[in-house]
Amino acid sequence: MHSQFVSLLLPLFCLLSSLVAAKTKSSSFIHDDIVEYKDFKKLLRTKNNILALYVSSTKAAAAELKIFREAGESIRGTGTMLLVDCGLDQEHKKLCKKLKITPDPYTLKHYKDGDYHKDYDRQMSVASMVTFMRDPSGDLPWEEDPAGKDVVHFSDAGTFTKHLRKDIRPMLVMFHVPWCGFCKKMKPDYGMAATELKTKGGYVIAAMNVERQENAPIRKLFNITGFPTLIYFENGKLRFTYEGENTKDALVEFMLNPNAKPAPKAKKPEWSADTNSEIVHLTTQGFEAAVKDEKSVLVMFYAPWCGHCKRMKPEYEKAALQMKQQNIPGILAALDATKEQAIGEKYKVKSYPTVKYFSHGVHKFDVNVREASKIVEFMKDPKEPPPPPPPEKNWEEEENAQEVIHFLNDETFSSTLKRKKHALVMFYAPWCGHCKHTKPEFTAAAISLQDDPRVAFVAVDCTKHSALCAKYNVRGYPTILYFSYLKTKVEYNGGRTSKDFISYMNNPPNSNDRSEL
């Protein structure tokens, strides 16, 4: 009786085990089925942000694989995770050999826009991996930089508010964003201040990246509009904003005595006050006379606060010195257009820096040169640059684009797709290279199937209709989705030629009747 009972339960147990295994596999966001090199190349063509983990065996790299899988769950929709077990069988070994990869016990490589980008160079943790996949081309996160090891980094609003409730020590928090040049310049001093204050005890030097979406509430709460913003806290409560110098000594001195009035920041001398400069600084009064007698004059119209101007200034100075050393004829001049507004208005200066070329007092043309080598090269043989190419047409303005439906809003999108049995929708951005390559193929497929009223090829510009794209969880471009009466939604992962699109629509998901189309 017992053996009969066991024999009855055994098939049920196997069925349950297979269901659990299937569920586990389907809940994973890791591609682990790539064996052929052509399938690998296809994945690179269809996905533009891929992190690939190559292992000598899953057992040898078990710890790394666990982190990789957890990160895969978190970055769903942001990127693609690929696992290749190079020791699994001969086919996998062949693929790894073809890719010239010998994991020991693992190798992590990133692929971007169809090509190899770089080896993964961050910490082997879920948080680091997720941060990397959100911005693979970005700088090393501050919290992973050894120079910032003594800075307390708050990852989100929750950990920040929790710290305020539990830690009453004096704390200075630097709210920053990755692209801020002033933040980058200040980080080394801030890190050194944190290290020095750590030895004294009783102080916290912290930082928070408020560009992250999860930190938006903090940015709003403290009305942070400029970067870096440094705020001082005591007993878990905001006291005031730090207004002192951004040097290590000034930061340490402030934390040791925060109630002392900070010394005023030293005012930087104006560029025109530099007596060692080879640049000729112009004013409204002497502008016309200065350029009239010269055959070749390049004038940089700038604003003191302009970041691009600040970056160009040393290059401009370097170019002027090289011209002097090489006896290259001509003058490099500069004019503060915020002070000399009349001249700026006369020559229609609307952005900074604007670089204009003059000959004997006559404005000839504008020049887009900002590097010393390019400036010197231009002044050796001043020639008008070729006109910029005409702006690209919007997709809906291109030839035959009327066969692709372009939507204006969510309402027309829904009402139209509800009437279409088979609709292929391409969510795109005009600047996206992959989108530009796909557009003519998508249009050609639409033309080929234009006579069937049940079929629609649809395009949505996500730079114009961000809410609609967010509704369908579009994270990369192009994202192509198949709809049937707006009820069925399937992600399209096929090729991107017109033949691929036509073949797919001739045998769409959940349709075994090819004659329907």
Residue with tokens 């010269």: 294
At residue 93, the pLDDT reads 94
Task: Catalytic residue, from 86, 309, 462, 469: name it.
Answer: 309
Task: Catalytic residue, from 183, 432, 462, 469: name it.
Answer: 432
Q: Cα(378)–Cα(370) distance, rounded to whole angstroms? A: 11
List Cβ neighbours of 105 (8 Å cut-off, separation of 6 or more).
Answer: 55, 56, 57, 60, 61, 64
- Residue 61 corresponds to which tokens in the numbers above? 């790299």
At residue 85, the pLDDT reads 96
Residue 469 a catalytic site member = no
At residue 408, the pLDDT reads 62
Residue 180 a catalytic site member = no
pLDDT tens for the 517 residues of the chain, in order: 444 444 444 444 444 444 444 333 433 468 888 999 999 999 998 888 999 999 999 999 999 999 999 988 888 777 899 999 999 999 999 999 999 999 999 999 999 988 999 999 888 988 889 888 888 877 778 888 888 899 999 988 889 999 999 999 999 999 998 767 678 889 999 999 999 999 998 999 999 998 777 888 898 889 887 778 999 999 999 999 998 888 999 999 999 999 887 666 566 678 887 777 889 999 988 899 889 889 999 999 999 888 888 888 888 989 998 999 899 999 999 999 999 999 999 999 988 999 999 999 999 999 999 999 999 999 999 999 887 777 777 887 777 778 898 876 667 888 888 999 999 999 998 888 899 999 999 999 999 999 899 999 999 998 888 888 888 888 888 999 999 998 889 999 889 999 999 999 998 886 543 333 3
Q: Cα(277)–Cα(299) distance, rounded to whole angstroms? A: 15
- Residue 334 corresponds to which tokens in the numbers above? 């500069």
Span 406-453, pLDDT tens digits: 876 667 888 888 999 999 999 998 888 899 999 999 999 999 999 899
- Residue 9 corresponds to which tokens in the numbers above? 């339960």
Has this prediction a pTM greater than 0.75? no
Domains, the chain, in order of start with CATH, read: 30-138 (3.40.30.10), 143-256 (3.40.30.10), 276-380 (3.40.30.10), 399-506 (3.40.30.10)
The DSSP-derived string for 124-186 is: SSHHHHHHHHH-TTSPPPGGGSGGGTTSEEE-SHHHHHHHHHH--S-EEEEEE-TT-HHHHHH
Residue 432 a catalytic site member = yes
Residue 309 a catalytic site member = yes
